[in-house]
Chains A and B, each alone.
Chain A
Amino acid sequence: MTKTITDVICPFCGTLCDDVEVVVSDDGKQLLEVYNACVIGTEKFLHSQSKDRVTRPRMHQPDGTWKEISYDEAAEYSAQMLAKAKKPLMFGWSSTNCEAQSVGNEIAEITRACCDNTAATCHGTSLIAIQDIGLPSCTLGEIKNRADRVIFWGCNPAHAHPRHMSRYSIFPRGFFTSKGQMSRKMIVVDPRVTDTAKMADVHLQVEQGMDYELLDALRVAFKGEWLPDVVAGIPKEKIREVADMMKSGRFGIIFFGMGVTQSLGKNHNIDAAIAVTKDLNEYTKFSIMPMRGHYNVTGSGEVFGWQFGFPYAVDLTRGFARYNPGDTSTIDLLVRGEVDAMFTIGSDPGAHFPISAVKQFAHIPSVCVDPHLTPTTGVSKLHVPVAFNGVEVGGNCYRMDNVPIDCRKVVEPPEGMLTDEQFLIKVRDRVRQLKGVA
């Protein structure tokens, strides 16, 4: 007999779908089928079941082989490394739960580490912009119930957040949007004709890197002022048409992604997008929301926020929390060669950082806590595999609109495997002894 578990939360992207159903074996040890999730989410649940999974910590040997060690030995290595380092970096946190993040923050506080999450390479610049100019936003249910203008700017949910459009933004029928997709105008701004752009009522194929100019042109168009014939590759008639479409809605939303955060201009692009949103609130109701990537990158920012006061790039080396992107941010710390120990958890900087930053942490003491084999584990001194968060252990996570949802455990992890939180508690307790704190 098998069991079906409903209302399961998918631990992949910031959409944090909570309507997934999984079928597990009677003994609760095997996950057999996954329903309602997108292809990526399905793969995530099913891959946890793979037979070739690493289930014990391993030390990287000079000849490239790996030597299996116990979790206690792994905790000892991690604690010694962090306690000895002058400027350890604890990076990641976006694919683990808030409970683990809290324990990690205690360790960081005791060892005076720099701590950062994957906003470093996704919405860090959005956070800078929000600190400049604010963020008029809403929850995703508001969009489902009210939105009649939906703009995807520099993001491609068809690929990156596959169920976003069907659950929240384009297709659902909500309280004031009973005609679903027919109640909405969809605008996509992207230099490519993405699979999202192909669905849009209007696609503005902006010249790559010219988002700031186009956003500014929209602000001019709202006020009916003079525009050049072409801005960022878009004819002014088209800009005015889109400006009118935005103004004429009853409730609009701009979703934005890496297209604006990672292109030149960076936080200034987001400043302009938020200013566009603010302007539109003079005419109608408009909101704006970053399309957060990892399923709990938002949660990491929240936990950092209430414990240290800053959402990412937090430097505790002076015994109190400092924040100064460009100075205390991970990529810059690494590229400047300031970090002397690297602790990675719930992220894969080896694959997702520029190679010049990866080279820096490949040659210092390093620990990578990750259920998978990744480029980061491949260049780390110690790999600590753990239970899959959201599959083999529950815990709180925050959706892209900051709504907290408690993930569910659906199967048992392989015999003897620890969770992120359990491993971190071992490290914390040992670090406390080493540093002589209560």
Chain B
Amino acid sequence: MSEYIIKNGNVFDPVQGIRGDKADVAIKDGKIVDKVGSGAKVIDAKGKTVMAGAVEIHAHIAGPKINMGRIYRPEDKLFTCTPTKGIERMGGGASIPTTFKTGYEYAKMGYTTAMEAAMPPLFSRHVHEEIRDTPIIDEGAYPVFGNNWFVLEYLKNQEIENTAAYCAWLLRVTKGYAIKLVNPGGTEAWAWGLNCLSVNDPVPYFDITPAEIIKGLIEANEYLGLPHSMHIHPNNLGNPGCYETTLDTLRLAEGYKAKNKFGREQVMHLTHSQFHSYGGTNWGDFESKAKEITDYVNKNKNITIDTGNVTLDETTTMTADGPFEHHLTGLNHLKWANIDVEVETGSGVVPYIYSPSISVCAIQWAIGLEIALMMKDPMRCYITTDHPNAGPFTRYPRVIKWLMSAKAREAQINAFKHKDKVLSQTSIGTLDREISLYELAQMTRAGPAKSLGLSGMCGGLKPGMDADIAVYNFNPDKPVANPEDIEKAFTRCAHVFKCGVEVITNGELISNGNKRTLWVNAKVKDNPQVMRDINEKFLKYYSMTQANYEALGHHFVPNPYALEVDATQV
């Protein structure tokens, strides 16, 4: 494999504590190394910013609900098509781009790893087919567990070991990466048109509460010692006053400590916090509770979060929180798709327009930024847009602009129709913090990699790590003349390397790399009872036979990378 040396760039690497020093980064055999031979190809990064490839911790980019969005929203393709160009396949779509375009767009912005945030296990083959067709970036997918009948039944009886054995089995057969919960209990209730809006609402028939599901899955996750923690989209998303449910959810992590060999420290990852930080009693007195949420998370080190920034775009919302999407179509009267999945989960899709002229949308915008600015430890708060829910991932450069420039935020606030309401219902106007490039590297690289248990592999530039590297046309030594320059610089990289292969040069694709599918292979003690239960559920309640369930073979996962976990000695 080729050798490269990226010379004289301003390097930002939280893993090694490098804060913009001029340094060289050497690449050999796909890894970052101390030094390379004189024959190495030289990349001149003088006056540029060098970081590790960015890590996406939560985005909906592959699978049945994303494709439902693509299929039922032809309008999303209007004016967003990209033609075939050399090795680049044609693409289309703004909020739900085609798979090829998804891979290219991430890579061009310097992202090299991304996690699909909600994989319905029954549809794992579909998720993996789309992952296969998303070039360049390494991807993993989180199967959803929070409404799964096995989990509900085991946890009702506090059977942590059986829950863990089942989780390990499901991760293996679906080639999944982590334990994901979406509206625990609520989506099962939605199968009857109901919901669970607090952590204490009993799930119909199953006679268990969301709180018991959440605690049980934290315990199962730590029993197994998985790379990532339990990853949760809590109950009561998106409603005025929901922050109390969020705090109730966060408190369930108290007393738990991470147990794993991957360097992960948290036991709970709260995703798209913005949607869970609302106060007020209705849309009229809707207000930010970002302070209450971040105060709690700042104090409790066993929790990580991502933001879920609203980008003020027309987009397509999609979530395994089926009842929420039904609620949303009732609010905006746009087309509603729903997919309930037997035994396991459900989901819904509704287009949404975050209009800067609507006070609620503007307040949501402010809350997402407040969370990022109020979190004291950037290693525990990651930038996301919950793509495509709060906005498309292609808007990350714009979110970065807002976070790095108080001037850019002020300009946006002044442009809102209901500026006064934004200022009265949030504290965005009082925050003058500007995120530094070092903090940005923590929030988009080192932090999410650590939370995912990948800190030995990506998110940093330490020798021995994968050579995932992004070089931006951004000179940190010069003052920013115009905040727009920040957005521009982070939109298209000067160079991107993925596992040592140069994939992007001057914002253009030059290689499709050699993407991998990341999954977690957790071994547990033989558990005949769980195997019998699985067998029985397939015989009685699934519409597919057990022998046809597993996503096997080259077609689905052509280039797997398994993280091995051994829980047989627990």
Query: Taking beta carbons and an 8 Å cutoff, which residues of A are in contact with B?
Result: 6-7, 9, 18-19, 98-99, 102, 109-110, 127, 130-142, 144-146, 167-168, 174-176, 250-251, 278, 281, 284-285, 287, 301-303, 305-311, 316, 318-323, 395-396, 398, 402-406, 438
Contact = CB atoms under 8 A, between A and B. Distances in A.
B125 interface: yes
A135 B122 contact: no
Contacts of A138: 338-342, 346
B81 interface: yes
Contact of B542 (A102, A141, A284): A141
Given A109-B84, A321-B77, A406-B548, A136 B541 contact: no
8 contacts: A132-B335, A135-B72, A136-B336, A141-B541, A175-B149, A176-B205, A306-B129, A309-B76
Interface string B442-477: 000000000000000000000000000000000000
B541 A18 contact: no
A316 B339 contact: no
Nearest to B546: A7
A146 B205 CA distance: 12
Most buried by A among B70, B125, B342, B349: B342
Contacts of B525: none
A300 B339 CA distance: 19
A146 B84 CA distance: 46
Nearest to A168: B543
A319 B339 contact: no
Given A167-B543, A306-B130, A139 B89 contact: no
Nearest to A7: B547
Given A131-B72, A134-B329, A309-B93, A438 B87 contact: yes
A231 B285 CA distance: 47
Interface string B304-326: 00000000000000000000001
A-B pairs with lowest CB-CB distance, top 7: A141-B342, A134-B335, A141-B543, A138-B340, A320-B81, A404-B125, A7-B547
A250 B194 CA distance: 11
B133 interface: yes
Contacts of A18: 544-545, 548
A339 B90 CA distance: 22
B240 to A, nearest CB: 22
B70 A7 contact: no
A49 B191 CA distance: 45
B98 A308 contact: yes
A275 to B, nearest CB: 11
The listed residue with most B CB atoms (<10 A of its CB), out of A130, A142, A438, is A142
Interface string B85-112: 0110110110001111000000000000
Given A146-B191, A308-B98, A396-B125, A131 B342 contact: no
A194 to B, nearest CB: 24
Contact of B126 (A142, A284, A302, A309): A302
Contacts of A398: 126
A148 to B, nearest CB: 11
B260 interface: no
Contacts of B337: 130, 134-137
A133 B335 CA distance: 5
B433 interface: no
Residue picked from A110, A251, A285, A403, most chain B C-beta under 10 Å: A403
Nearest to B86: A438
B534 interface: no
B555 A99 contact: yes
B307 to A, nearest CB: 27
Contacts of B89: 109, 307
Given A137-B337, A139-B342, A396-B129, A305 B543 contact: no
A7 B191 contact: no
B122 A403 contact: yes
A399 to B, nearest CB: 8
A285 B195 CA distance: 12
Contact of A134 (B72, B83, B125, B133): B72
Given A141-B544, A321-B77, 5 more contacts: A127-B71, A135-B68, A175-B541, A251-B192, A308-B90
B126 to A, nearest CB: 5
B299 interface: no
B90 A139 contact: no
Nearest to B100: A307
Interface in B273-324: none
Contacts of A99: 555
B125 A135 contact: no
A311 B73 CA distance: 10
Contact of A7 (B98, B125, B545): B545
A98 B191 CA distance: 30
Contacts of B130: 306
Contacts of A9: 548
A102 B133 contact: yes
Contacts of A110: 84
A380 to B, nearest CB: 28
Interface string B176-211: 000000000000001111000000000001000000
A403 B543 contact: yes
B193 A281 contact: yes
B262 interface: no
B74 interface: yes
B210 to A, nearest CB: 20
B123 interface: yes
B336 A310 contact: no
Contacts of A301: 71
Nearest to B69: A305
Nearest to B343: A141
Contacts of A406: 125, 548, 552-553, 555
Given A138-B338, A174-B541, A438-B87, A323 B77 contact: yes
A251 B191 contact: yes
Contacts of A285: 190-193
Contacts of A145: 342-343, 541
Given A138-B338, A403-B543, A131 B122 contact: no
Interface in B537-569: 540-545, 547-548, 552-553, 555-556
Nearest to A302: B67
A371 B129 CA distance: 26
Given A131-B73, A323-B77, A306 B67 contact: yes
A134 B73 CA distance: 9
B72 A142 contact: no
Contacts of B414: none
A402 B556 CA distance: 16
B548 A7 contact: yes
B82 interface: yes
B72 A306 contact: no
Contact of A139 (B98, B99, B341, B545): B341
B92 A321 contact: yes
Nearest to B194: A285
Nearest to B193: A285
Contacts of A6: 547
Given A306-B70, A319-B83, A321-B77, A250 B192 contact: yes
Nearest to A309: B92
B64 interface: yes
Contacts of A127: 71
Nearest to B64: A402
A305 B74 contact: no
Contacts of B100: 307
Contacts of B76: 309
A116 to B, nearest CB: 14
B352 to A, nearest CB: 13
Contacts of A141: 122, 341-343, 541-544
Most buried by A among B205, B543, B556: B543
B342 A142 contact: yes
Contact of A142 (B81, B83, B191): B191
A174 B538 CA distance: 11
Contact of A140 (B68, B83, B84, B543): B543
B115 to A, nearest CB: 18
